[in-house]
Amino acid sequence: MEYLPIVISILSLIVAGITLYNTNLRYPNIYPHLGPLIKVYYPSDGGFAMYIPITFINSAPRAGTVLRAAVLLYQKGSTQEQYFMEWGSFSKFDTQTGNWIYENICHALSVTGKSSVSKVVWFNWLPSSQPKFVITPGEYVLTLFYWLDGRPQPKSDSHEVHISKEVFGQLEVYRTNNRSTTVEVALDERLARNRVMTSDEASKLLKS
């Protein structure tokens, strides 16, 4: 029995150490949340561009930094042409004009512990880049790569993008008429955005 206080003290010390690590010392754990909707378009000066809402979430207590980010876009089944685009600028929506406008050049983002930072990020395939990029109907993969402070290799987060014939048709009209009008596309779309459901379907959806 004389060992019981020692055992209790050791266990208390271990618990205190784990608590200290989890509340103050644990390495930043930053991960992104994209979308759920993005805007795609053809700029009037050429090329291709996307506005992607990104929230970087830090679930750990220590602050961390997102140094840079890029996306890789390619059509499923294609191993030849994969389009890599580094982030270009942060953007915001101008409610007076109804247009997306420049907010700031992209820069490192500090994410404090147990918090998040949200930005709409503009990615573009430059008019001078080769080959020219013209999106076609089909299934695409959009992968976000992001570099964190203290980690030489990037982390990644992949999503599916469905380009319907309707979206393709809209984009083609704007492209051929040299109009930089955006078209909305959903990431990882599993259900139609508007649909009529039975009570059973609604119940199953809410439970999923």
Task: Provide the number of structural domains found in the chain.
Answer: 1
Residue 182 lies in a domain: yes
Q: Which residues of 58-95 are buried (b: 16+ CB within 10 A; e: fewer)?
A: bebbeebbbeebbbebbbeeeeeeebebebebbbeeee
pLDDT by 10-residue block (mean), the chain, 208 residues:
56 50 67 97 95 97 96 87 96 92 96 97 96 94 96 95 96 95 92 78 72
Residue 82 lies in a domain: yes
Residue 51 lies in a domain: yes
The pLDDT value recorded for residue 184 is 96
Residue 13 lies in a domain: no
Residue 165 lies in a domain: yes
Numbers of helices and strands, H then E, in the chain: 3, 11
Q: Which domain holds residue 118?
A: 30-189
CATH number at residue 46: 2.60.40.10
CA angle (101, 97, 171) in 5-degree steps: 70
The pLDDT value recorded for residue 20 is 45
pTM of the model: 0.84
Residue 25 lies in a domain: no
Residue 153 lies in a domain: yes
Residue 205, CA distances (Å) to 105, 155, 187, 190, 194 in order: 41, 31, 18, 11, 14
Residue 154 lies in a domain: yes
